[in-house]
Amino acid sequence: MISLARHRLSPAETGPALRALSEWTPADAPSGGLHPGDVGWQLRFGDATFFLWTDGSAPAAVGFLDGTVLRVTAAPHADLDALAADAEELLEPGNDQCDGLPIPGWELDEKEPWVVLSWTPRPAPSRARPVGEADAADRVLVQRSAFAGSTFTVERWRTMKQSPAGGLAVETLVRTPSGEPAAAATGWFAGAGRCGLLEPVGTHPDHRGHGYGRDAVLGACAALAERGSSAVAVLTPAGNEAAVALYRSAGFTVLRENHDRVRPRPA
C-alpha cells in the first residue's frame, strides 16, 4: 500500500530534500527536473517554499514551483502515477508546466526545449578565482548585469551561502586585467562520484567576447572535479545559441534536449 505524503518545507528544513536529491543524482547528467544545486540557487530567497514527498518514511520526490513551472525529481523507484496525481493539486490554472514528472494527459512542450550539456573532468587552466565575502558585491554586479530583471543582491547571496545548501556551492569570479568583474559561475556539488551542476553562469555585457565566461565556467568545473564530481552538467535554452557555444568552447558536449510538459489547451 502506497502511503504518499506531501510536506511543505521552509528553507531551513531543506536538509532532507537536499540529501535525497544528492543520493538520486547519477554519475552522468541528471535526468530529473532538479539537482541539489537547483534547490541551492532557489535558497537565495529566504521565503522560498519546497515540497518533499515521502512514501512511509522514505523520500519519494522533491519539488518546488519555479514561477509557473513545477520542477520535480523523483526517487528511482517512486510511484510516478501517485506523485503526478498529487502534484496536479499544486498546479492551479496558470501553473501550466511541469519539469521532471510525467503527468498523464499533459503534452511535451516542443517550442522551448532545454539543451543538456556535460563536461568530463580534465585539466582546465583558468583565470577564475574563488568568490569570498570580499567579492560578493562584484559577484552580484555580474549577475545583475548579465541577466535583465535579476533581483540578486548581496543579502540574497549571503542567504544562499548560509542556507543548508551553502556548503555545496563553489563560485568563481573572473576579472579583467584592470580588476573589473567580468564573469562569474556558481557550481553545485552533489557528492563524490556524482554529477555536479552549473547554475547560474553570467558574463558582464561590457566584457563579452574575451573568454571570461569560459574561464568562469572552467574554474567552477575544476573546483567541482577537485571535490570529487564525476562530471558537470549545465542546462540552457536551445534557442540561446551564445550560451551553447560558450559551453562547447569550454569542452562540454551536448547530451540531449529536455522538454517540459504543458497542460493541454482547451479545444
List per-residue pLDDT tens for the chain, 267 residues long. Answer: 458 999 999 999 999 999 999 999 999 988 778 999 999 999 999 999 999 999 999 999 999 999 999 999 999 999 999 999 999 888 888 889 999 999 999 999 988 899 999 999 999 899 999 999 999 999 999 999 999 999 999 999 999 999 999 999 999 999 999 999 999 999 999 999 999 999 999 999 999 999 999 999 999 999 999 999 999 999 999 999 999 999 999 999 999 999 999 998 776
Other C-beta atoms closer than 10 Å to the C-beta of 150 total: 15
Ramachandran sector of residue 100 (left: φ over 0; alpha: ψ -120 to 50; beta: rest): left
The length of the chain is 267
Other C-beta atoms closer than 10 Å to the C-beta of 244 total: 18
Report the C-alpha gap between 78 and 49 in whole angstroms: 22
Report the C-alpha gap between 47 and 69 in whole angstroms: 18
What would the CATH number be for the domain defined by 4-105?
A: 3.40.630
> What one-letter code names the amino acid at 158?
R
Phi, psi of 122 (to 5 degrees): -160, 165
CATH superfamily of 115-258: Gcn5-related N-acetyltransferase (GNAT) (3.40.630.30)
DSSP track, the chain: ---EEEEEE-GGG-HHHHHHHHHH--SSS--SS--HHHHHHHTTSTT--EEEEEETTEEEEEEEEETTEEEEEE-TT--HHHHHHHHTTT--TT--EEESSPPTT-EE--SS-EEEEEE---------EE--GGGHHHHHHHHHHHSTT----HHHHHHHHTSTTGGGEEEEEEE-TTS-EEEEEEEE---TTSEEEEEEEEE-GGGTTSSHHHHHHHHHHHHHHHHT-SEEEEEEETT-HHHHHHHHHTT-EEEEEE--EEPPPP-
Nearest in space to 184 (alpha carbons), one of 147, 236, 235: 147
pLDDT at 264: 87
Report the C-alpha gap between 138 and 146 in whole angstroms: 12
pLDDT at 1: 47
The residue ranges of every structural domain in the chain are: 4-105, 115-258
pLDDT at 229: 98
pLDDT at 233: 97
Domain 4-105 identical in fold to domain 115-258: yes
pLDDT at 2: 58
